[in-house]
Chain A
Amino acid sequence: MLGIPLKYNVRNLFVRKVTTSLTVAGIALVVMVFLCVMALGEGLTRVFTASGSDRNVLVLRQNSQSELQSGITRDQVPLVETLPGVEKDADGKPLASAELVVVLNLEKREGGSSNVTIRGVEEKGWKLRPGIRLTEGRMFSPGASEVIVSDGVSRRFKDTNVGEELHFGAYRWKVVGHFDAGGTAPDSEIWTDVEGMINTFKRNGYSSVLARTPDRAARDLFVAGLSSDPRLALEGKVERTYYDEQTATAAPIKFLGLFVGVVMAIGACFGAMNTMYAAVSSRTREIATLRALGFSRLSILASFILESVFLSLLGGLLGCVLGVLAVKLALSGVTGTTNFATFSEVVFAFRLTPALLLTGVVFSLAMGFFGGLFPAGRAAFTKITQALRQVG
């Protein structure tokens, strides 16, 4: 089979400048909207998938879905930390941190307010999360009502610069430092000393215990040991699994992206179909000539589908460029939403991955293929004699 050169189609597209550019722009906008919304969902998902370690076990009260709902009494902590499987540090002390989480309602810089997690940690809490580093100021000193705030939270909430003070009636905390956790869950948190926090909030215990295990076998042993102790009524969850389970937070955003993307793609596909029908009908004589020259129906069909696919590919690529520009320029800062599993803010950034861009391109190719199918079919079944007789 002899193929019609692609150049034929490309040149034709450039002859009809107005129609081509209107169609390309339409497809590009659809791809851009799809990419931006999906980048939002991807950024949010990434916080959860990047958080937590496979070797850390988060100990919660049975049936608790999150640390906020959980409670562990003071006398339970030594029992948990001495269970077999917990790693020991150089001094022979268990590598585990009993922590308390409370939710603070803070005012956002952009107006409105949202809940932010404040986490009381033991000193060992740092060793359990090696990705965290101070970016400004210093560490809080125990018992002094001092806090350190993540960069992400300080960018979004008032009164969180180093030297400022967070206060709620009689509750006061001085911000002494900022930290960065490399895009993981602590990037949405404020940290302080756990004992000071228990005093401030007049709690009689902790929310959770985070324990490190040396390997998988030890981890499973520790988790099994926890659940088989009926006195404790606690359960252990691998830290990574705990965060993975919260990715559902991003589901509504991804659903929105897909819904808007698919419906709009069908709309844009109709637009492409229109353009292709016009292309076919204005070239009826040309097509008949090609057929008379010996090109097969299949070549004509393929040629017009290719033309349509090429048209929407232009749109798809332009959409990707617009999407990248939008995410890099307009949406480059951090944003946030509430994770209803922990009832507090997750700070995250838009994230446009190569996989997403590829999805955008595939999306545009599909629009081109379906948009070109019927017009190409009409072109392929042009009656040669009738078409050649046609005037104009």
Chain B
Amino acid sequence: MKLLPLVFKNLFRKKTRSLLTIGSILLPLFVICILGTMLRALDSDPSNGKGMYRLIVRHKVSITNWLPAAYDPKIRQLPGVVEVLRMNWFGGSYVDQSARNQFARFSTSDADRFLKVFDEATVVEGSEKEWVDDRSGLLVGRLLMKKYGWKLGQKVTLKGDIYPVTLELTIRAVFEAPDETGVYFHHEAIEEALPRVKGFVGWYWIKTASLEATERIPAQLDAMFENSSFPTKTETEKEFQNGWVSMLGNVKLLVTSICTIIVFVILLIAANTMAMAARERVTEIAVLRTLGFRKRQILGLVLGESLLLSLFGGVLGVALYALLFPGFREAVANSPMGGFAAGMKLFPEILAVAFAVTVFVGLVAGLAPAVRSAQRSITDGLRQVG
């Protein structure tokens, strides 16, 4: 520990070099934090465990094929089903097709059951009753209200693509939930304009009574409709989300590979700096040895400097990331991938990984120069010029 002041002094002897090295560790670590957060967000569960009690039932062929609305009573009578919610993807557009105006638009045949199935959501403005009672009422996520500066009672026009209708809906309630990037309205609003779509829905949400029910119902329900004209596939909310991630392709492998290579790049840069520093101090280290410094102490001196250098870069990189995180999250929320932002947090495990990378880089980068410095004989060191 007595060596610490000397390590500090050594570190900032060449200020430009130390600052450049810190910079070249800081930036890659910042990238690792961002990529790591994206990766971790793919696995996150924004519902905080409430999703364990939710199942989704879709057409076996794919979610874009509709199911009969009449499955509702048959599903409800299964033991362990607490509530059933029929949902539908409206799609369409708000104002225009630009990235800024992309958000999820759903219609439901059972507005009165919505908050029973999504019980992590609470209405914070307006009231559930007003929304349920108004056939052209709209339930809006808080984040969207803020983004577009909407007010309660305001009319919002949605233009359909799958459904060739233009809907004028009135904001009746605002909800707060982990994912606040969607709007919900009554399926009757579409059915009134397009009678031919009556009788069909996109998918069913089920709220189950217990984990036992969550496990049992999928097989039971799918067997019930197996040989009908509309076979089903029932999954837990988690499996359903994983399905989306899987649709993106092998993102995890791509991002993990990028991160691994980035670690190598930092390692090379840090190792270069330490090699240069050690080379310049050959004579000096020999002098220290003649003064009575042990090999072990020399080892510690060089390794400590390397570790400290890396830690400076790493801690600053993580700090920069933590500082910019709210802005980064908001940028993602406002992008077409807005739904993704719900799962993004300042994950402590990502910060821990970044810290571990820093320590690893510091130790490995300093190892070769440290061992070489410690092992070099005093006479050799003193003989060296320059």
At the interface, yes or no: A293 with Cβ under 8 Å from chain B? no
At the interface, yes or no: B326 with Cβ under 8 Å from chain A? no
Distance A110 CA – B245 CA, assembled complex (angstroms): 14
At the interface, yes or no: B262 with Cβ under 8 Å from chain A? yes
Distance A136 CA – B271 CA, assembled complex (angstroms): 54
Which one of A63-71, A127-135, A210-218, A381-389 contacts B?
A63-71
- Chain A hits for B35, CB < 8 A: 260
At the interface, yes or no: A268 with Cβ under 8 Å from chain B? yes
* Residue pair A274, B273 in contact (C-beta under 8 Å): yes
If A63-B160, A267-B23 touch, whether A104 touches B266 (CB-CB below 8 Å) is no
- Chain A hits for B248, CB < 8 A: 337-338
Which one of A19-27, A51-59, A157-165, A355-363 contacts B?
A19-27
Which of B16, B61, B161, B245 lies in contact with A105, CB distance below 8 A?
B61
At the interface, yes or no: B379 with Cβ under 8 Å from chain A? no
A25 → chain B, closest Cβ, in Å?
5
- Chain B hits for A68, CB < 8 A: 64, 162
At the interface, yes or no: A140 with Cβ under 8 Å from chain B? no
- Chain B hits for A37, CB < 8 A: 254, 258
At the interface, yes or no: A144 with Cβ under 8 Å from chain B? no
Which one of A1-9, A28-36, A75-83, A177-185 contacts B?
A28-36
The closest CB in chain B to the CB of A65 belongs to: B161
If A169-B227, A278-B17, A337-B248 touch, whether A29 touches B264 (CB-CB below 8 Å) is yes
Q: Which of B251-273 contact A (CB under 8 A)?
A: 254, 258, 261-262, 264-266, 268-269, 271-273
At the interface, yes or no: B249 with Cβ under 8 Å from chain A? yes
Distance A30 CA – B225 CA, assembled complex (angstroms): 53
At the interface, yes or no: B139 with Cβ under 8 Å from chain A? no
Name the residue among B60, B269, B337 with the largest chain A CB count within 10 angstroms: B269
* Residue pair B20, A113 in contact (C-beta under 8 Å): no
The closest CB in chain A to the CB of B166 belongs to: A63
Which of B65, B231, B249 lies in contact with A102, CB distance below 8 A?
B65
B299 → chain A, closest Cβ, in Å?
19
If A270-B23, A274-B20, A278-B276 touch, whether A335 touches B264 (CB-CB below 8 Å) is no
Distance A190 CA – B71 CA, assembled complex (angstroms): 30
* Residue pair A65, B24 in contact (C-beta under 8 Å): no
Distance A33 CA – B261 CA, assembled complex (angstroms): 8
* Residue pair A62, B242 in contact (C-beta under 8 Å): no
* Residue pair B62, A105 in contact (C-beta under 8 Å): yes
* Residue pair A113, B164 in contact (C-beta under 8 Å): no
If A40-B254, A267-B266, A282-B386 touch, whether A103 touches B17 (CB-CB below 8 Å) is no
Which of A18, A110, A260, A345 lies in contact with B258, CB distance below 8 A?
A260
* Residue pair A33, B262 in contact (C-beta under 8 Å): yes
If A105-B63, A112-B242 touch, whether A18 touches B24 (CB-CB below 8 Å) is no
Distance A269 CA – B361 CA, assembled complex (angstroms): 19
Which of A63, A111, A168, A252 lies in contact with B164, CB distance below 8 A?
A63
Instruction: Decide if the interface of chain B is mainly helix, strand, loop or mixed.
Output: helix
Q: Which of B1-60 contact A (CB under 8 A)?
A: 16-17, 20-21, 23-28, 30-31, 35, 60
* Residue pair B31, A270 in contact (C-beta under 8 Å): no
* Residue pair A170, B227 in contact (C-beta under 8 Å): yes
At the interface, yes or no: B168 with Cβ under 8 Å from chain A? no
At the interface, yes or no: B159 with Cβ under 8 Å from chain A? yes
If A33-B261, A33-B262, A112-B243 touch, whether A263 touches B60 (CB-CB below 8 Å) is no
B277 → chain A, closest Cβ, in Å?
9
B35 → chain A, closest Cβ, in Å?
8
The closest CB in chain B to the CB of A337 belongs to: B249
Q: Which of B317-362 contact A (CB under 8 A)?
A: 337
* Residue pair A63, B159 in contact (C-beta under 8 Å): yes
The closest CB in chain A to the CB of B266 belongs to: A267
* Residue pair A32, B261 in contact (C-beta under 8 Å): yes
B240 → chain A, closest Cβ, in Å?
11
At the interface, yes or no: A392 with Cβ under 8 Å from chain B? yes
The closest CB in chain A to the CB of B35 belongs to: A260
- Chain A hits for B276, CB < 8 A: 19, 274-275, 278
At the interface, yes or no: B247 with Cβ under 8 Å from chain A? yes
* Residue pair B61, A168 in contact (C-beta under 8 Å): yes
At the interface, yes or no: B229 with Cβ under 8 Å from chain A? yes
At the interface, yes or no: B91 with Cβ under 8 Å from chain A? yes
- Chain B hits for A103, CB < 8 A: 61-62, 64-65
- Chain A hits for B161, CB < 8 A: 63-65, 69
* Residue pair A25, B268 in contact (C-beta under 8 Å): yes
Distance A105 CA – B60 CA, assembled complex (angstroms): 8
- Chain A hits for B143, CB < 8 A: none
The closest CB in chain A to the CB of B273 belongs to: A274
Complex interface bits, A97-122 against B, C-beta within 8 A gives 1, otherwise 0: 00000111100101111110000000
- Chain B hits for A337, CB < 8 A: 247-249
- Chain B hits for A63, CB < 8 A: 93, 159-161, 164
Name the residue among B160, B162, B231 with the largest chain A CB count within 10 angstroms: B162
Distance A268 CA – B265 CA, assembled complex (angstroms): 8
Name the residue among A201, A271, A277 with the largest chain B CB count within 10 angstroms: A271
- Chain B hits for A169, CB < 8 A: 60, 225-228, 231
- Chain B hits for A292, CB < 8 A: none
* Residue pair B28, A264 in contact (C-beta under 8 Å): yes
* Residue pair A267, B28 in contact (C-beta under 8 Å): yes
* Residue pair A26, B269 in contact (C-beta under 8 Å): yes
* Residue pair A263, B31 in contact (C-beta under 8 Å): yes
If A29-B261, A63-B164, A274-B17 touch, whether A267 touches B247 (CB-CB below 8 Å) is no
* Residue pair A267, B249 in contact (C-beta under 8 Å): no
Distance A264 CA – B263 CA, assembled complex (angstroms): 11
What are 14 A-B residue pairs whose CB atoms fall within 8 Å in the complex?
A: A22-B275, A30-B265, A68-B64, A103-B64, A114-B246, A115-B64, A169-B228, A170-B228, A202-B229, A268-B269, A270-B269, A274-B17, A274-B272, A338-B247
Cβ-closest 6 pairs across A and B: A169-B231, A112-B246, A270-B24, A337-B249, A271-B269, A26-B268
Beyond the given pairs A22-B268, A201-B65, 7 more chain A to chain B contacts, judged by CB atoms under 8 angstroms and listed by A's residue number, are A23-B272, A103-B64, A105-B243, A114-B249, A169-B231, A270-B23, A338-B247
Residues of A at the B interface (CB closer than 8 Å) are 18-19, 22-23, 25-26, 29-30, 32-33, 37, 40, 61-65, 68-69, 102-105, 108, 110-115, 168-171, 201-202, 233, 252, 259-260, 263-264, 266-271, 273-275, 277-278, 282, 335-338, 343, 345, 392
